[in-house]
Amino acid sequence: MPVKKGTKPIAQNKKARHDYFIEDTLECGIELFGTEVKSLRKGACNLKDSYAQVKNGELFIVGLHISPYEKGNIFNRDPFRTRRLLAHKSEIKRLAARSQQDGMSLIPLSLYLRDGRVKLELATAKGKKLYDKRHTIAARDAGREMERRMKEDRT
C-alpha cells in the first residue's frame, strides 16, 4: 500500500498562541500504538491542556487526549496516558535546558501526519500575562480595521 505524501493536519492548539509567547519550535515524532494511530487519522484528539516534560533524558507528552478507537476493543489504550516523544538527544538536552529557565514551558502546537507518520510540533514558550493578552487582541483588531479601511478605499 503506497504511503500518502504531504502533510495532513490532525489537531491544533489554538489556545497556545493566545496564552504563550512562542520562542522556538521543534518537530518530533510520537510513540503510539496501532489503535491510537487509527483514532488520530479520524481526528479524535485534544491538545488543549497538554504539555511536554523531560525525564531521565527522554521527552514525554502529558495530558494529550486521544479518544479510543471504536473498533479497537481490547487493544485500546488509556486516552490520557503519557506518551514518549521521539527527538535527537541533542535536541532533548537543548529543550531540557530551555524548560529549566524561569517561566519557560514545553507546549504542543499541532499534531499532523507527514508522509504517513504522526508528528507533533513542540514549542518552548513563555506564559503571557493578562495585559499581554489584551495588547495582542488590540493589535489584531487594529490590523483588521486597517485592512477593512484599505479595502473600502480600493472600491
- Tell me which of 2 and 154 has the higher pLDDT: 154
Q: What is the pLDDT of residue 76?
A: 73
Q: What angle do CA 59, 63, 69 make, to 5 degrees?
A: 105
pLDDT value at residue 143: 93
- Give the pLDDT confidence of 36-88 residue by residue, as tens digits: 888 888 888 888 888 899 999 899 999 888 888 777 677 677 778 888 999 89
Distance, in Å, from the CA atom of 116 to the CA atom of 10, rounded to the nearest integer, reads: 12
60 and 52 in contact (C-beta within 8 Å)?
A: yes
| Single-letter residue type at 23 | E
pLDDT at 96 over 60: yes
Mean pLDDT of the chain: 86
Answer yes or no: is pLDDT of 1 > 60: no
| Cα 71 from Cα 131, distance rounded (Å) | 47
Cα separation values, 111 from 13, 62, 137, Å: 9, 14, 25
Domains of the chain plus CATH, in order, are: 8-128 (2.40.280.10)
